Amino acid sequence: MADINTTQSRVHSTTRSVDNQSSTHKGKADLDVLGEIHTLLGRLGESLVEPVAYDTAWIARLGHIDINLATQALKWLRAQQLTDGSWGALTPIYHHDRVICTLAAIVALARNNAPEDKPRIYAALPALQYSLANLHTDIAGRTVAFEMLLPSLVAEAKSLGLEVNDPDGIVERMSRLRDAKLAHAPTGLIDRYTTLGFSAEWVGPDGLHLLDVDNLQQEDGSVSVSPAATAFFVAYVRPDPAALHYLRRVAHYGGAPPVTSSDIFERAWGLWNFTRGRNFDPAIVAYGDSLLDEFTADWSPTLGIAHDSIVSVQDGDDTGLVYELLAQFHHTPDLAALRHFEGDTHFRSFDLESHASVSTNIHILGALRQAQLHEKHPSVQKIVNFLQNEQTPQHFWVDKWHTSPYYSTSHAIIVCTGYFDQLVEDSVAWLLETQNSNGSWGYFSPTAEETAYSLQALMALHQQGLPIPHRALERGIVWLAEHSDPPYPPLWIIKTLYCPTLVVHSAILGALRQYECEFGSLPEKYYATGT
């Protein structure tokens, strides 16, 4: 984990008066919150995620199989190199993301061996070394499968004549972790029923015996809806027509997203965001009834639910949140699915998990609360104790699925208000103290996403009758209304940073609608001035 004091200091020095997100000023006639929600309800499930360099770089290797597909991917990579020479998210600067994206990009370019790419590769190497030396500053820690992917990519880069040093021995440490897993992994371990399939490319050409090849692909031809894993499969296992069709379909204008199908996750989080307030709109209620009928059909009584209807691996995070929604809409299933993820000290996200997720435990706590489990129930107390131990000295939480503590902390406040108020009392104070002077919130810089989460939490407190300064809500809503439109920065974590655009948009619209329902309309200042 990052040095919290150092990182928190950076927050206070950079986000009090800075507003890096572009503003689109709107007047009253331009912002119909409920109308935009109705439109978004029709789009949830599209699995809208922007392309990233890592997965695109894997597709760029396929010139010997599909020259057009690879050429478009290479063109996209060249256009997306950042000014410091690296690849990855422009903002926030998250070094694990920069390392994985940059390594994948330079390996793809070096394999293509075009003279025009040599300056790009050499420009990337200093930026790569800088990020390798600063991995410890990333607040949420490693990206997904980082310890598996880094050694393979570094070894491949060196085999292509690229000099990659190992500051602080990080590559060596990750290599030891990777080798230990390889040494104990049984033949045929990786299939579509394990989380390892999503990062199957980590096995490399020498680890193909670890793949259960005939049980690896999903029904859409992909390997666990991952373009990178699917491109690896095509390159090193077999040029499967269904896998190639999948890659051609998802590589829009050359670039590929890090995950291509997440309809349950997208619709569940959208509905959750739209049901935080009171006075539900009839369209939201009808959408919820219809959606939760579908979720009930996808629900396994003993395993829960996956993030997508075609994915074969259920997870605790989606299971917890969907259970809460099902119970809220009177579709309460048995608790057996939640208990499947229960361990000795916390609840898991997946069966094969190296470290725990704070947000997964928060969402399962919300499910247990909706199931009306008493505060003293052992499973409830297990999560509360886990959250107490994971809370930072600054009274917020960080999570492995999201770079911003405002996500996990705000969700904890929402779940615990009226249930475990004392657990989040200091977190509420932190939330109010870190609001920027312009009304926004943001850990790295002000964002609409983090502002929406913070407002959702504060309005949950207000609904419980707790004394929340109305000025804080009003200033936040004014700023949020002015910055509600995409694009949004990628704050979510898988193998790279990414942004589930429709989920983020639902949080923003949900917060605006919640304020309207509580106070009758958006603030007059916003309507009168548009500033």
The full length of the chain comes to 531
Distances (CA, A) of 13 to 91, 295, 442, 499, 517: 17, 44, 12, 25, 35
Structural domain range at position 418: 37-48+261-529
18 in any annotated domain: no
One domain for residues 384 and 278: yes
Beta bridge partners of 500: 49
One domain for residues 136 and 156: yes
93 in any annotated domain: yes
* Three-class SS state of 180: helix
* Pair 525, 478: CB distance under 8 Å: yes
One domain for residues 277 and 372: yes
Q: Which residue has the tokens 């990628």?
A: 490
End-to-end CA separation in angstroms for the chain: 38
One domain for residues 243 and 270: no
Which distant-in-sequence residues (6+ apart) come within 8 Å of 234 by Cβ?
Answer: 62, 65, 240, 243, 244, 247
One domain for residues 245 and 307: no
pLDDT of residue 18: 37
- CATH number for position 509: 1.50.10.20
* pLDDT tens per residue across all 531 residues of the chain: 333 333 333 333 333 333 444 334 444 446 899 999 999 999 999 999 999 999 999 999 999 999 999 999 999 999 999 999 999 999 999 999 999 999 999 999 999 999 999 999 999 999 999 999 999 999 999 999 999 999 999 999 999 999 999 988 999 999 998 887 777 667 778 899 888 899 999 988 888 988 999 999 999 999 999 999 999 999 999 999 999 999 999 998 999 999 999 999 999 999 999 999 877 889 999 999 899 889 999 999 999 999 999 998 999 999 999 999 999 888 888 899 999 999 999 999 998 787 899 999 999 999 999 999 999 999 999 999 999 999 999 999 999 999 999 999 999 999 999 999 999 999 999 999 999 999 999 999 999 999 999 999 999 999 999 999 999 999 999 999 999 999 999 999 999 999 999 999 999 999 999 999 999 999 976 554 443
Point out the domain boundary residue: 222, 250, 278. 250
One domain for residues 195 and 307: no
Separation between Cα atoms, residue 499 and residue 497, nearest integer Å:
7
pLDDT of residue 185: 66
86 in any annotated domain: yes
pLDDT of residue 7: 36
pLDDT of residue 23: 38
**Secondary structure of 31-62 in the HEC alphabet?**
CCHHHHHHHHHCCCCCCCECCEHHHHHHHHCH
DSSP alpha helices (H): ranges in 305-439?
316-328, 336-339, 358-370, 378-390, 405-416, 421-433
One domain for residues 295 and 173: no
Point out the domain boundary residue: 198, 222, 250. 250
One domain for residues 425 and 446: yes
Q: Could you say which DSSP state residue 185 is in?
A: P
15 in any annotated domain: no
User: What is the b/e burial string over 37-60, where b = at least 16 CB atoms within 10 angstroms of the residue's CB?
Assistant: beebbeebbebbbbbbbbbbbbbb
91 in any annotated domain: yes
- Residue 228: exposed, middle, or buried by beta-carbon count in 10 A (0-12, 13-18, 19+)? buried
One domain for residues 270 and 294: yes
The distance of Cα 480 from the centroid of its chain, to the nearest Å, equals 21
Rg (CA), the chain: 23
* Pair 33, 516: CB distance under 8 Å: yes
One domain for residues 323 and 204: no
Separation between Cα atoms, residue 401 and residue 144, nearest integer Å:
9
154 in any annotated domain: yes
Separation between Cα atoms, residue 505 and residue 515, nearest integer Å:
16
Point out the domain boundary residue: 194, 223, 250. 250
One domain for residues 111 and 153: yes
- CATH number for position 200: 1.50.10.160
Cis peptide bond N-terminal to 92, omega within 30: yes
One domain for residues 270 and 328: yes
330 in any annotated domain: yes
What is the number of domains present in the chain?
A: 2
